[in-house]
Amino acid sequence: MAALGTTTKPTILLVPGAWFPQSSYDGFLKVLREAGYPTACASYPSLNPEEPEKADAAADTAFIRRTSLLPLVEAEEKDVVIIMHSYGGIPGSAAATGLGRRPVTRPAAREESLDWSTSPGLWCREAQASRTAREDRCRCG
């Protein structure tokens, strides 16, 4: 991981909005890559699900954290900026709960870096990370 104040660019993790295929963001991600930013695009179970009635924000949150965030932050030791579009702000912000600039308690401890932005979208406070999208505890951002 880069030390604070260095010129290493963070990895941009995009969490797409509901009903938007990842290909919808190809142009945006290409511009970021051309500017020197590594990019990744998260997926989640309720993104165009076969059974929409079984989809919920808690499952999406766990999936994003397990398959996108933790591999970047812990395994690859990357600085990460999360950009969340629309509904992606609910599971994306909840998945980031507990991550951020803080010391990590494990061998060769380092400082984690995680910043996020939602445009325009929804976000959840840390305490509501396990609630479903239908509940009224999320705020428009």
Q: Looking only at Cα atoms, what is the longest distance across the chain? A: 46
The pLDDT value given to residue 49: 80
Look at residue 34 in the predicted model and tell me its pLDDT: 96
6: pLDDT strictly greater than 60: no
Fold of 11-132: Rossmann fold (3.40.50)
What pLDDT score was predicted for residue 5? Answer: 53
Q: What is the pLDDT of residue 7?
A: 67
Sort strands 80-86 and 39-41 into parallel, antiparallel or unpaired: unpaired
User: Does the pTM of the predicted model rise above 0.85?
Assistant: no
What would the pLDDT profile of 90-128 be if each residue is shown by its tens digit?
A: 899 899 988 876 544 444 444 445 555 545 454 455 444
Q: In what side-by-side order are the strands of the sheet with 80-86?
A: 39-41, 11-15, 80-86, 114-123, 139-140
- pLDDT at residue number 124: 54
The domain spans of the chain are: 11-132
Q: Could you read off the pLDDT of 19-70 as tens digits, one per residue? A: 788 888 999 999 999 999 999 999 999 887 888 788 889 999 999 999 999 9
Q: Residue 11: which of 96, 68, 66 has the closest Cα?
A: 68
- pLDDT tier, 4 (very low <50, low <70, confident <90, very high otherwise): low
DSSP letter string, 41-80:
E---TTSS-SSGGG--HHHHHHHHIIIIIHIIIIIS---E
